[in-house]
Amino acid sequence: MRFDTPATTNPIDQLRVIGKPHDRIDGPLKTTGNATYAYEQHAAAPNAAYGFILGAGIAKGTIKSIDLDEARRAPGTLEIITYENAGPLGFAPFIPRTAALAGPRVTHYHQAIALVVAETFEQARDAASHIRITYSEEAGRYDLAAQYDTAPIAPDYILGPSEMRINDFDGAFASAPFQLDETYTTPPESHAMMEPQATTAVWEGDQLICWTSTQGIAVALGDLAAVTGIPPENIRVVSPFIGGGFGSKSFNHADISLAAIAARMVGRPVKVAMQRPLVINNTTHRPATIQRIKLGANADGKITAIGHEALFGNVENGWQESAIVPTRHLYAGANRMTLARMATLDLPEGSTMRAPCEAAGMMALEIAMDEMAEKLGMDPVEFRIVNDTQVSPDHPERPFSLRKLNECFRLGADRFGWQDRPSRPRAVQEDGWYIGMGTAAAIRGALAFPSAARVRLASDGIVTVECDMTDIGTGTYTVLAQTAAEMMGVDIDQVAVSLGDSNLPATAGSGGQYGCASSTGAVYAACVKLRELVAETLGFPGGEAIFEGGMVRHGETSLPLAIAAANGELAAEDLMEYGDLFQTFDQQTFGAHFVKVAVNSATAEVRVRSMLMVCAAGRILNPKTARSQVIGGMTMGLGGALMEELVVDKNRGFFVNHDLASYEVPVHADIPHQEVVFLDEVDPYTSPLKAKGVGELGISGVAAAIANAIYNATGVRVRQYPMTLEKYLSELPQI
């Protein structure tokens, strides 16, 4: 099926199953410990040997020697894989750009030097400690700020041009009666997902099966083939359950290729879980940014000039954390400039993390908007409403498919009691705490990519959905079951869902908050085909049958759906493809955050007291799983605002806080009352379900809302994330 004209009325609009807050259908498996993750395939891969990754102890240089003698003699050691015996390794086409196995070059700290395979995990770990390596170490580039003056314009990238100038930005900024010119920094952040990267690899003849923790089966398979040289047709990748990814598992890491090679070498299953202390420096992170924002406005609050420059760093040809992206879509303003610059760094590789580009960009832009509102003497909500646009600001010929940002702000302000916010900072003090409120917009692209699915109808009336889509904790199993139930006119408990297997029809996977729209679109297309097949089998003329309550009705005749499969299962498969509606219309999700914080007037500790987000994100397929996504994003953004930072050791080139004890993320006690409101809207331009995604919208803007609330509470403006107390303690009044 091709989706190239806006959706009209279709069976989804019945909203019998879609739009309902169904519990996760995979919930019981998870809460009872019966969901088997990549490292837990004891039944499918018995007698697996354990792999332990030894990471490089330097950030940059060359391996001079590796002495494996003692490690090979250690009890239980089966094999040790290094660059000397692994055979040639290639690269994935996109990410990562750094080698899965170092040698002789080492290009980042904790890059894998060796995989030790042993009978037990403890034996592998111990043997690894007996490997003796000598390096010749080189000086590296670890400090992004040091390249602020010299870093070149970023090479052209998938995110659009690195530089855009519309009309006369410099002139308009220079002549604007109100000007803002400030610089903001965001630190490197870690995905810090619960389940580390992990793979169990098994060879059966020349066929390889990898149970791995991935967000996208097809990418994992293709990239594994590219790195190892194993023909893709000989590989099967399976990933039924994933303990979070946040973008880190959109691409492969060392675990999968090393497990595959090791399992072949030792002739038995091998499992490798990235050890927690290795995750942060061996795998990827959200790169740091330094952003300069210039705004010019008239006294009426209309922005006349908007400029956003972002400097980010990465390995050569690495992911670009182009924080300017949201500025290209968010606010009006005739004169515009966006510029992305990229420094080359020898740190571990940066990659995508929840709302890449938008999250970092909005951390800066939405403080800038708050600062400008104050200069103008305007309410920050009003300032944003005044600068709304219904056409994509960089491309006025391109309207938004649906943009209700102003509605989000109005509703949110009303619900949150925004009118109580003191316009003057540091105006409210209660029991030794300064109290403040902040707001920020949220924006995140709403994409959908070609995806296929198969739907089968069995003689007992059970409908089975099959595709290689992943459920990374988001609720995909459930929304796909809801989609099929709605389309086939059955209850959700009549639907079974199989996911995460490369033997099944290929989808775009999970990421970029496109997974839900893409995979439900695929199931929709397959169900349309299956309905035709059912109608044909039952002798009903095409297109007119009504599927409802487990029955298929045509005119006066009504037959059980299951009858259609009485003489054998019916199956239909289809690929949903997308036309140019994405180009014709700017498709985004929107939201407005409202936050109340308390700042201790003595110690500057921050406690967020309440959070509200109003989202405009198309049709919400399941308000319960959608809410979970949004509060998850808000929580992660709170971490980004207040505590999350990978600290770079600029002498030796690595992230110092490399475990979950020292990379602090919010705990329960940090999370206050959170409320999420979804506007009741449908967007017919995005997909036949008229839905978008919400997995990343929640994190967009929220950190800035907290920063703005801290300012409102204390009168101290901090422009460096995270807002740890030493950054403003000295500016608080003496007590």
Partner 1 sequence: MRPFSYQRATSAAEALRLASELPGARFIAGGTNLLDLMKLSIERPSHLIDINRIGLDRIEDTPEGGLRIGALVRNTDLASHKRVRKEYAVLTKAVVAGASGQIRNKASTAGNLLQRTRCPYFYNTDQPCNKRNPGSGCSAIGGFSRSLAIIGASDTCIATQPSDMAVALRLLDAIIEIERQDGSGRTIPIADLYKAPGTSPDVETTLAAGELITAVVLPPPSGGKHFYHKVRDRASYAFALVSVAVIVHDNGSGKVALGGVAPKPWRLETADAALPLGAEAATATLLASATPTHENAYKIPLVERTLGSILSQARS
Which residues contact partner 1 (rule: CB under 8 A)? 55, 57, 74-76, 122-123, 126, 129, 277, 432, 600-605, 607, 642-643, 647, 649, 651-652, 656-659, 661-662, 664, 666-670, 724-726, 729-730, 732, 735
- H or E element: which one contains 409? helix 405-416
Long-range Cβ contacts of 385-389 (<8 Å, 24+ apart): 385/409, 385/410, 386/300, 386/301, 386/302, 387/301, 387/302, 387/303, 387/331, 387/332, 387/333, 388/331, 388/332, 389/331, 389/332
Q: Please tell me whether the peptide bond between 356 and the residue prior to it is cis, using omega within 30 degrees of 0.
A: no
- H or E element: which one contains 549? none
For residue 696, indicate whether it is catalytic. yes
CB 662 to partner 1: min, Å: 5
How far is the C-alpha of 625 from the C-alpha of 511, rounded, in Å? 16
Note whether 124 and 51 are within 8 A (CB): yes
User: In the complex with partner 1, which residue's Cβ is closer, 292 or 652?
Assistant: 652
How far is the C-alpha of 83 from the C-alpha of 656, rounded, in Å? 26
Q: Please tell me whether the peptide bond between 326 and the residue prior to it is cis, using omega within 30 degrees of 0.
A: no
CB 346 to partner 1: min, Å: 16
Cross-strand partners of 236:
209
CB 270 to partner 1: min, Å: 19
Q: How many residues are there in the chain?
A: 735
User: In the complex with partner 1, which residue's Cβ is closer, 174 or 656?
Assistant: 656
Query: Taking phi first (over 0 means left), then psi (-120 to 50 degrees means alpha), and beta for anything else, what does residue 500 get?
Result: left
How does strand 495-498 pair with strand 463-466? parallel
Letter for the amino acid at 703?
A
SS3 697: helix
CB 600 to partner 1: min, Å: 8
Instruction: Enter the DSSP assignment of 22.
Output: P
How far is the C-alpha of 724 from the C-alpha of 719, rounded, in Å? 11
How far, in Å, are 239, 320, 426, 434, 600 from residue 735 at the CA level?
A: 56, 45, 14, 12, 11
User: In the complex with partner 1, which residue's Cβ is closer, 76 or 160?
Assistant: 76
Place of tokens 């499969």: 565
CA atoms within 13 A on the CB side of 384: 30
User: In the complex with partner 1, which residue's Cβ is closer, 513 or 635?
Assistant: 635
CA 152 to chain centre: 27
User: In the complex with partner 1, which residue's Cβ is closer, 43 or 661?
Assistant: 661
How far is the C-alpha of 631 from the C-alpha of 639, rounded, in Å? 12
Q: Which of 238, 176, 285 is nearest to 41 (CA)?
A: 238
CB 669 to partner 1: min, Å: 4
User: In the complex with partner 1, which residue's Cβ is closer, 150 or 734?
Assistant: 734
User: In the complex with partner 1, which residue's Cβ is closer, 137 or 532?
Assistant: 137
User: In the complex with partner 1, which residue's Cβ is closer, 277 or 560?
Assistant: 277
How far is the C-alpha of 221 from the C-alpha of 210, rounded, in Å? 9
CB 658 to partner 1: min, Å: 7
SS3 527: helix
CB 347 to partner 1: min, Å: 14
How far is the C-alpha of 603 from the C-alpha of 350, rounded, in Å? 34
How does strand 335-344 pair with strand 303-314? parallel
CB 532 to partner 1: min, Å: 55
How many helices (H) and strands (E) the chain has is answered by 15, 30
CB 354 to partner 1: min, Å: 19
Note whether 638 and 702 are within 8 A (CB): yes
CB 247 to partner 1: min, Å: 23
Token couple for 32: 């009872």
Token couple for 697: 């919208």
State the catalytic residue, choosing from 371, 696, 726, 731: 696
Note whether 559 and 551 are within 8 A (CB): yes
Q: Which of 438, 287, 412 is nearest to 359 (CA)?
A: 287
Rg (CA), the chain: 27
How far is the C-alpha of 313 from the C-alpha of 733, rounded, in Å? 37
CB 643 to partner 1: min, Å: 5
CB 251 to partner 1: min, Å: 25
User: In the complex with partner 1, which residue's Cβ is closer, 581 or 608?
Assistant: 608
Q: What are phi and psi of 13, to 5 degrees?
A: -65, -10
User: In the complex with partner 1, which residue's Cβ is closer, 536 or 649?
Assistant: 649
User: In the complex with partner 1, which residue's Cβ is closer, 130 or 554?
Assistant: 130
CB 722 to partner 1: min, Å: 8
Q: Which of 432, 430, 427 is nearest to 712 (CA)?
A: 427
Dihedral over Cα of 500, 501, 506, 512: its sign: positive
CA 728 to chain centre: 31
How does strand 198-204 pair with strand 270-273? antiparallel
**Residues belonging to the active site:** 696
